[in-house]
């Protein structure tokens, strides 16, 4: 098995993790770290705005997938974490807007959490992709 790091930005390397890893062997998979509403320097964006944070988290997920030569059509599993599940669910139309054009509906888990790693973040999404 061969592992190749995918890091569109270098801020996470300083924290000890890759944004994703390409795993090659019998099958090709990408395991993405949780993506949140941060800019290219790792600074939180859209304070207090769940919809804005979901949108940017998806933008960041798509950037990581693109760095691995994939897109949302390759996502086979999602883990979603929200500090306010009800507010996140009100904005889940964004999920359909992102995945609908790819005609995929990956399995997912949504968990309510008291907080995320960086204070002020409301939403985090992690994905496993295969191709």
131 residues of the chain, pLDDT tens digit each: 466 889 998 888 776 677 887 877 647 899 999 999 999 999 999 999 999 999 999 999 999 999 999 999 999 889 999 999 999 999 989 988 998 899 888 888 899 999 999 999 999 999 999 88
| Residue 64 parent element (H or E) | helix 50-67
Tokens of 105: 């509906």
Fold of 2-130: 60s Ribosomal Protein L30; Chain: A; (3.30.1330)
Say if residues 131 and 70 touch (Cβ distance below 8 Å): yes
> Residue 36's CB: how many other CB atoms inside 10 A?
24
Output the pTM of the full model.
Answer: 0.86
The residues, any chain, with a CB within 8 Å of residue 68's CB and separated by 6 or more, are 6, 20, 22, 30, 129
């Amino acid at each position: 098995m061969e592992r190749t790091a995918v890091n569109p930005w270098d801020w996470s390397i300083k924290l000890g993790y890759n944004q994703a890893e390409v795993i090659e062997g019998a099958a090709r998979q990408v395991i993405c770290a949780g993506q949140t509403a941060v800019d290219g320097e790792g600074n939180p964006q859209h304070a207090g705005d769940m919809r804005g944070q979901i949108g940017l988290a998806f933008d960041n997920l798509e950037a990581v997938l693109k760095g691995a030569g994939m897109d949302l059509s390759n996502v086979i599993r999602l883990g979603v974490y929200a500090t306010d599940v009800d507010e996140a669910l009100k904005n889940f139309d964004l999920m359909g807007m992102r995945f609908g054009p790819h005609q995929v509906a990956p399995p997912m888990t949504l968990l309510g959490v008291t907080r995320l790693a960086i204070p002020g973040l409301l939403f985090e999404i992690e994905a496993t992709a295969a191709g």
